[in-house]
Amino acid sequence: MLKTLARLLVVLACVLLPACAINQKPIVHQPMSVRPGPVASTQAETGGSIFQQASFRPLFEDRRARFVGDTLTIRITENTAASKSSGANTERTSGIQAAVPIVKGVPGKTFKDLELEASTSNTFDGKGAATANNVFTGTITVTVIELMPNGNLLVSGEKQVAMSQGTEFIRFSGVVNPITINTSNSVASTQVADARIEYRANGYIDEAQTMGWLARFFNNVLPF
């Protein structure tokens, strides 16, 4: 009975293992999209058949994002590089030498004229180096999800590309200063504060590269 229950638990863990490993919580600001608020339709706000007071924008006004629900194009141009190296070298040497004199009255001749000599030497030499180089380019259109009191825009968005091997997710969020938005209603990711960028995928290729929770458990419990 216990063996059967153990087998069922193993099978259940194997079934749930891929889902636990792949479905990761997004790090971008939520929600990733928002709809603009409803427009009031009272007679005082309507004004006429052509002029609409609630949704009026000047004729020569540009179409840059400035309200909740507006869209904005982000030009992702991330290029980071970092390197680090360290080294340490220590050395220690010690020695000791002693001789046992002749002692009268000691039975046997084993310990007579005995000489002792010992020496130790410790050497440590350690070196370390790390290098990272990340390049990420592309474009994604996001939605203004919040208008801050100082006029900055909190934006967030997602792009999904489905392929035969799985689905790729590109997510972006951050705080945009309206001054940095150009006439084409776009802004570079390097000018976005608190930028959070994700590039993930799901499918059998990603599953093969992800360690499941059961394997991570045994890796922590049995590190050898």
Q: Using alpha carbons, list the distances in angstroms from residue 159 to 32, 162, 171, 197.
A: 10, 10, 6, 12
Percent of the chain with pLDDT over 70: 58
Q: Which regions of the chain does DSSP assign to beta strands (E)?
A: 71-99, 115-147, 153-163, 166-176, 186-188, 193-202
Length of the chain: 224
**pLDDT level of residue 24 (50, 70, 90 thresholds):** low
Does residue 172 carry a pLDDT above 80?
yes
Banded model confidence at residue 207, pLDDT cuts 50, 70, 90: low
Mean pLDDT of 109-134: 71
Q: Which of 128-137, 140-149, 196-205 shows the lowest mean pLDDT across its residues?
A: 196-205
The answer to whether 160 and 141 have CB atoms below 8 angstroms apart is no
Mean pLDDT of 192-221: 75
Continuous segment of H or E residues that includes residue 205: helix 204-208
The answer to whether residue 22 scores a pLDDT higher than 50 is no
For residue range 41-81, what is the model confidence (pLDDT) as tens digits? Answer: 544 555 556 666 555 566 666 778 888 999 999 999 988 88
Percent of the chain with pLDDT over 90: 26
Nearest to 65 by CA among 146, 138, 137: 146
